Amino acid sequence: MKAADPYLASAVMRRLHLWEQLTDDSTVTITSQPDSEGSRLAWTVERALPPSVPLHDDALAVVLADTVAGPGLTADADTHRCDQKECVQTFASGGLAVRTVRREGARSTRQRTLARGTSAILHERQVIGRPVGEGPGGHVLQLIDDMRDERRLTHAAEQLAAAWAQQGLCTLVLRLEGRDSLNDEQPWQRSRLTGGPGAMFKSTVNYLNDNHKAVITKARAHFDHVIMVKHQSVDFPWAGISPLADDHLVVAFGGFPKVTRSTTVHAGKLQRDTIELTPAESAVAWLHGRLARIPFADVPITGLLLQCAPDEHGPNSFDGLVDTELARHGMPVLGRLPQPKLFTPCRTVLDDLPDEQRAFVLRQSAEIRTSLGPARADGSALVVALRELSGL
């Protein structure tokens, strides 16, 4: 007998969670045996469904053919047969047979879960594992950048969302744009990930109408974390701060100044001096330089997400001492992420990073998450602060 097709085995076995996500409360059995010619292993996936669920499901062939959510298998022509007792479909030239039957007898009791974020691939919802009755919906985090660098914000949002998904959470990167041509809510598009039991999605919504409020409310119920990136105003960047979010992080370049320069004229000649800064002086210079357009002293901001080289920032290093001073000014550094690249050919989030940097992102993202507040936080104080700032 020839060796088994390693690709087909990987396609079937690496996505074990996928089979149960196709239909809630189903049981799945996977077996393999030599085919009739003895030339390879033939795989069989038997799905046992509750009595109330139809045996045939168009989404099965769709998701198995997809290369992101599924294994990218092609359905065999003229092999699909369904009757009252079973529905059988084959894929990969007969290498995989999916047999769907009715489950006999009651299934053992398990905790019921909420279904889940709507997938553009499945056209149904996917289990994300939040038990019913656990409490309010998912957390909403807004990323802010006073430089209007949307690429910087999107990159940071995707890194956080991917890292949290690899840690088992279901995340959504939600872009709020003020475009009249963007009339309807866009579908939740699933992103390609490397490993991890969670899932990451992206979507876009128009904030010029009140529809985005309903979208955020809906997303809370389906995702563990919604990371919101909103197009900022040119003249009033603080107007883009949304009270719909539970936490707000300012994304900025994390290079702290260690010296400052002065230029004077003495006896008709220019004289330039370099002055070393203390950590306290560096923190003030950085705040009023990098965050000149963010009203951090007047509006409650959760903290900072800095983009810089993944170096060590110990508590006794210069940057560590500046971090302490920033926290004293009400702007604690919650974490650091690598700076975005101008271009990457990788379709898989985080795959453009070396292993050491990827581990750095996962570690920093976990620390950031532990520093966030609860979901559905009371935003009334933020609304008052924004009204006072705008003079209303």
Determine the Cα–Cα distance for residues 136 and 270; give it in Å rounded to an integer: 63
Asked whether residue 147 falls in the same domain as residue 98, the answer is no
115 falls within a domain:
no
Structure tokens belonging to residue 226 = 């919604």
- Contact (CB, 8 A) for 183 and 209: no
117 falls within a domain:
no
Determine the Cα–Cα distance for residues 315 and 321; give it in Å rounded to an integer: 6
Last residue of a domain, one of 73, 93, 110: 110
The alpha helices in the chain, defined as continuous H runs, are 6-13, 16-22, 58-65, 150-166, 211-222, 279-290, 318-328, 355-370, 380-390
pLDDT tens for each residue of 83-134: 888 999 988 888 888 989 988 765 544 433 333 333 334 433 343 444 433 4
pLDDT band (50, 70, 90) for residue 183: low
Check residue 303 and give left, alpha or beta (phi > 0: left; psi -120 to 50: alpha): left
Structural domain for 20, as ranges = 6-110
Asked whether residue 88 falls in the same domain as residue 153, the answer is no
pLDDT value of residue 24: 65
Query: Which residues, 6+ apart, have CB-to-CB distance to 244 below 8 Å?
Result: 140, 213, 216, 228, 379
pLDDT value of residue 333: 94
Asked whether residue 143 falls in the same domain as residue 87, the answer is no
Structure tokens belonging to residue 390 = 């705008």
pLDDT tens for each residue of 310-340: 665 666 789 999 999 999 999 999 999 988 7
Average pLDDT over residues 19-38: 75
116 falls within a domain:
no
Asked whether residue 17 falls in the same domain as residue 55, the answer is yes
- Contact (CB, 8 A) for 166 and 348: no
**pTM summary value:** 0.66
pLDDT tens for each residue of 210-241: 678 888 888 998 899 999 998 665 556 566 78
Strand partners, 41: 34
Total domains present in the chain:
2
HSE, CB side, 13 Å, CA atoms: give it for residue 214: 7
Asked whether residue 278 carries a pLDDT value surpassing 60, the answer given is yes
Determine the Cα–Cα distance for residues 138 and 130; give it in Å rounded to an integer: 9
Query: Which residues, 6+ apart, have CB-to-CB distance to 145 below 8 Å?
Result: 152, 153, 232, 250, 251, 252
Asked whether residue 255 carries a pLDDT value surpassing 70, the answer given is yes
Reading across the β-sheet that carries 225-230, which strands appear in turn?
A: 189-190, 199-206, 170-177, 225-230, 139-144, 247-253, 303-307, 333-337
Asked whether residue 2 carries a pLDDT value surpassing 50, the answer given is no
Asked whether residue 106 falls in the same domain as residue 147, the answer is no
Residue 332 belongs to a domain with what CATH number?
3.40.50
Determine the Cα–Cα distance for residues 308 and 315; give it in Å rounded to an integer: 17
Strand partners, 226: 140, 172
183 falls within a domain:
yes
The alpha helices in 246-353, defined as continuous H runs, are 279-290, 318-328
- Contact (CB, 8 A) for 385 and 299: yes
Query: Which residues, 6+ apart, have CB-to-CB distance to 255 below 8 Å?
Result: 308
73 falls within a domain:
yes
pLDDT value of residue 345: 56
- Contact (CB, 8 A) for 71 and 15: yes
Mean pLDDT, all residues of the chain = 78
Query: Which residues, 6+ apart, have CB-to-CB distance to 201 below 8 Å?
Result: 117, 119, 170, 171, 172, 173, 188, 189, 190, 191, 223
Backbone angles phi, psi at 34, to 5 degrees: -60, 140
100 falls within a domain:
yes
Asked whether residue 163 falls in the same domain as residue 101, the answer is no
Check residue 25 and give left, alpha or beta (phi > 0: left; psi -120 to 50: alpha): left
Average pLDDT over residues 168-176: 90
Asked whether residue 144 falls in the same domain as residue 94, the answer is no
Of the candidates 85, 9, 73, which has an alpha carbon nearest to the alpha carbon of residue 40?
Answer: 9
Determine the Cα–Cα distance for residues 53 and 262; give it in Å rounded to an integer: 75
Q: Cα 245 to the chain's mean position, in Å? A: 15
pLDDT tens for each residue of 331-384: 999 999 988 776 665 556 676 677 888 888 899 999 999 999 988 778 888 888
69 falls within a domain:
yes
Asked whether residue 183 falls in the same domain as residue 73, the answer is no
